[in-house]
């Protein structure tokens, strides 16, 4: 598959997250468990919204496109380069998912073209993140669901250990942490209000990757989840926003 000139695309971070190298971060039982937690939260939010058509921005990694398509949603993925479709090609070829090449901060669609817009693994790496959020809101008629690393809990001190994290994971990229208020206020500027917000894991994801034991990770996370601490203080956060009244 030939690539395109992305010189006119100022944000192309999804090319990296759509690669086989990035997918290796979620390989094995622990990685699949982490992705199942993420997909479960997104699916529950979409079900409540009544959405049927979904635009997955930067979703060539397949973390959401595949489970959403399997759940019966009409899924379109937009990626910065044709190469971004590699990991979802089977679903594209079968017609279960549509893939289009486009600028993620100038989405190739009319206003309100999709019931829902979802995007994971993109916002914290996007330099022009306010513009990205504005495009999410422009393209959606019912809801927008995003993830981001939050400046609370264990994640508040994560930047101090970036060197060790990179040494362990080997393919860690730089990222931006957000306060919940920053993200909420940016969506508010575009007429969208917070509907629900939940943390995925109370303990750092790098700890679970280092343990490489899904049963141990599940046991370690269980008490924080039962006490409601994961929902309040966990990270990454998954948040749903809907058009304000």
pLDDT at 102: 96
Confidence of residue 175 (pLDDT cuts 50, 70, 90): confident
pLDDT at 157: 55
Residue 2 placed within a domain = no
Residue 180 placed within a domain = yes
Residue 171 has pLDDT above 70, yes or no: no
Q: Which residues form the domain of 29?
A: 14-243
Residue 97 placed within a domain = yes
Residue 7 placed within a domain = no
The CATH number of whichever domain residue 122 belongs to comes to 3.40.50.150
| Cα–Cα dist 97/55, whole Å | 10
| Cα–Cα dist 127/133, whole Å | 12
pLDDT at 2: 43
Residue 4 placed within a domain = no
- Give the pTM: 0.89
Residue 160 has pLDDT above 60, yes or no: no
pLDDT at 159: 59
- The Cα-based distances of 79 to 9, 55, 153, 158, 168 in angstroms read 11, 11, 32, 29, 29
Residue 108 placed within a domain = yes
Residue 234 placed within a domain = yes
Confidence of residue 217 (pLDDT cuts 50, 70, 90): very high
Q: Which one is predicted more confidently, 150 or 192?
A: 192
| Cα–Cα dist 232/245, whole Å | 26
For 87, counting Cβ atoms within 10 Å of its Cβ (0-12 exposed, 13-18 middle, 19+ buried), the class is: buried
- The Cα-based distances of 222 to 1, 45, 192, 201, 215 in angstroms read 44, 21, 32, 10, 11
Residue 226 has pLDDT above 80, yes or no: yes
* CA–CA–CA angle 128, 57, 176 (5° rounding): 40
Residue 155 has pLDDT above 80, yes or no: no
| Cα–Cα dist 119/144, whole Å | 8
Model confidence pLDDT, tens digit, residues 177-201: 999 999 999 999 999 999 999 999 9
Domain count, the chain: 1
The secondary structure of residue 1, as a DSSP letter, is -
Residue 5 placed within a domain = no
How many residues in the chain?
245
């Amino acid at each position: 598959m030939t690539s395109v000139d992305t010189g006119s695309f100022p944000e192309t971070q999804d090319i990296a997250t759509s690669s086989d190298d990035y997918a290796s971060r979620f390989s094995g039982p622990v990685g699949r468990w982490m992705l199942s937690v993420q997909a479960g939260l997104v699916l529950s939010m979409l079900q409540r919204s009544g959405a049927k058509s979904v635009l997955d921005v930067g979703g060539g990694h397949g973390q959401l496109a595949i489970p959403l398509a399997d759940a019966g949603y009409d899924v379109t993925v937009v990626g910065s380069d044709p190469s971004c479709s590699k990991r979802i090609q089977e679903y594209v070829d079968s017609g279960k998912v549509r893939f289009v090449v486009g600028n993620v901060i100038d989405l190739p669609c009319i206003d309100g073209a999709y019931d829902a817009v979802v995007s994971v693994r993109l916002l914290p790496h996007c330099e022009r993140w306010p513009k990205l959020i504005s495009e999410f809101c422009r393209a959606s008629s019912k809801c927008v669901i995003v993830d981001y690393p939050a400046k609370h809990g264990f994640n508040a001190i994560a930047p101090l250990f970036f060197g060790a994290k990179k040494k362990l994971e080997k393919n860690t990229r730089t990222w931006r942490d957000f306060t919940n208020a920053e993200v909420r206020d940016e969506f508010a500027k575009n007429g969208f209000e917070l509907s629900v917000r939940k943390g995925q894991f109370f303990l750092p994801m790098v700890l679970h990757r280092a343990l490489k034991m899904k049963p141990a990770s599940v046991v370690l996370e269980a008490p924080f989840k039962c006490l409601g601490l994961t929902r309040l203080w966990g990270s990454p956060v998954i948040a749903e926003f809907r058009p304000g009244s």
